[in-house]
Structure 1
Amino acid sequence: MTIEPGRHADSPTLVEDLLLLLFQPGSGTIAGENTLFYVLGGAVLADLALGEHVTTVDGSRVRSVEGHPPSDDLLRPAWDYLSGKPRGVQTALAAIGPALREPVLERLIERGDIDQEPHKVLGLFRTTALREGETGRRERLLADVRQVLVEGARPQTRVAALAALLSASGTLPQFHREIPWTSPVISRAKELERGDWGANAAAEAVTRTVTATVVNSTIVALTVLPRS
């Protein structure tokens, strides 16, 4: 089994990290729910780029790297979809994004990052409510993103991609208590969206280019969708 660079077999995917960050413990809801499928799709494509499973064609389309599929079942369907021919990023987002929410949430529940608890609506109807688990992983992820956006730390590659995707989702203002919504933070977030991560390695430069293409295509897609 091929393991992506910098990841272990049981490591969370980037899309899991993103959904966990978007989860709001205070309300038990997920920020940006109305446009979530585009954002999660973007995280999957970015993760494929980080693992060098996809590359860009003509600067605007993405395709799978032949013979190099991802090992994770959450990522494989997107790689398979892109293996037939190069696709526009927005086309790919619309194709792979809608099916992601439930399996990604199930992963987070299985890992204990999010818990489900029984709940009654109007004292009659049984349902389940989501609450933060006891792993502390969401807090650690948020601290990593805060260091990059607020404190100006030089990010690791995955943290840079995560922060860029979080910015692309349009939900950063909802994190104001942990990540102040200030002009320097906004400027740094936009730099990350463009792929300005401050990395030097040539391989990382390629990864940044692919990920920046994905992130910016996600932003374009979100601008034409209602956020209400």
Structure 2
Amino acid sequence: MLLVEDLLLLLLDDETGIPAGAGTLYYPLGGAVLVELALLGRVEHADGKVIAVGEGALPDPILQEAWDKAAAKPRRAQTLIIEVGTRLWDPLIERLIEKGQIRRETKRLLRVFKTTRLPSADPAYEQGLRDKVRAVLVDGAEPDPRTAAVIALLSASGSLPAVRPPIAWSSEVIKRAKRLEEGHWGAAEVNTAVITAAAAIAVASATTAATVAITTSN
């Protein structure tokens, strides 16, 4: 499982498969791919841009496609996150179905309107992810790099409250999530990737929220 697959599992509602933060979903997904490349030592940051480094094929086509984009032309993280993230929903859903993590249920309402649900198919695996998140945020456990990255991206997108069962929020829980979002863990290059991705996600989420508020008020 890729980091981005774990992240999407946590964002999907277990009953319907509707993702939390759907309007800006491509930001955390693209950010997760960028962070995974950093964990593998295949991207670096210089002068505000993401640069592909290293040689040899990557172990997954999603990672390879993202690395190829970075290798073709160094660009700002936000640009790369958008380019990568906007292409991920369909392939990720198909992969999660193939891996038995979710299933597709198609029905027709009134024999006319087709609806599709994507409920969880492997609650045990997803529960393991939730347990790791909870252990770090609630119990203060030391996170492994992948769990730290997942929490940071969820925190930046404002989607942590969507994790079920709900986390009992406290000042300590919020502080731990923010520390991870700000990159206080792991190697320097990974920290930079997390901070960059989290900042882009936070800006996108805030902009979307402001647009919805203005539209509603009008």
In the TM superposition, residue 179 of structure 1 has moved relative to its aligned partner by: 1.5
Residue pairs, 1:1-228, within 5 angstroms: 12-58=1-47, 60-134=48-122, 136-175=124-163, 177-197=165-185, 199=186, 204-226=187-209, 228=212
Question: 1:7 is matched with which residue?
Answer: none
In the TM superposition, residue 69 of structure 1 has moved relative to its aligned partner by: 4.5
In the TM superposition, residue 221 of structure 1 has moved relative to its aligned partner by: 3.2
Contact 2:28 2:197 in 1 (8 A): no
Contact 2:27 2:81 in 1 (8 A): yes
The 1:175/1:135 distance shift into structure 2, 3 A limit, reads closer
Unaligned runs of 5+ in 2: 213-218
Contact 1:61 1:89 in 2 (8 A): yes
The 1:124/1:84 distance shift into structure 2, 3 A limit, reads closer
CA distance in 2 between counterparts of 1:206 and 1:38 reads 19
Q: How many residues get paired? A: 211
1:29-51 residue CA offsets vs partner (Å, 9 max, x unmatched): 11111110111111110111111
CA distance in 1 between counterparts of 2:110 and 2:131 reads 37
Between 138-147 and 181-190, the greater mean CA deviation after superposition: 181-190
In the TM superposition, residue 172 of structure 1 has moved relative to its aligned partner by: 1.5
Between 134-143 and 161-170, the greater mean CA deviation after superposition: 134-143
CA distance in 2 between counterparts of 1:182 and 1:64 reads 39
Letter in 2 for 1:25: D
Question: 1:6 is matched with which residue?
Answer: none
Contact 1:164 1:192 in 2 (8 A): yes
CA distance in 2 between counterparts of 1:101 and 1:35 reads 12
Aligned alpha-carbon RMSD (Å):
1.9
Letter in 2 for 1:47: E
Between 140-149 and 69-78, the greater mean CA deviation after superposition: 69-78
CA distance in 1 between counterparts of 2:25 and 2:131 reads 22
In the TM superposition, residue 166 of structure 1 has moved relative to its aligned partner by: 1.0
CA distance in 2 between counterparts of 1:150 and 1:68 reads 40
CA distance in 1 between counterparts of 2:175 and 2:168 reads 12
1:6-49 residue CA offsets vs partner (Å, 9 max, x unmatched): xxxxxx11110100010111343111111101111111101111
TM-score normalised by L of structure 2: 0.88
Contact 1:53 1:69 in 2 (8 A): no
The 1:221/1:128 distance shift into structure 2, 3 A limit, reads closer
CA distance in 2 between counterparts of 1:143 and 1:122 reads 40
Unaligned runs of 5+ in 1: 1-11
Greater percentage in helix: 2
1:73-126 residue CA offsets vs partner (Å, 9 max, x unmatched): 111111111112321111112211111011011111111110112322234434
CA distance in 1 between counterparts of 2:124 and 2:140 reads 23
Q: What is the percentage of aligned positions where both structures have the same residue?
A: 44
Letter in 1 for 2:152: A
CA distance in 1 between counterparts of 2:148 and 2:97 reads 25
Contact 1:113 1:136 in 2 (8 A): no
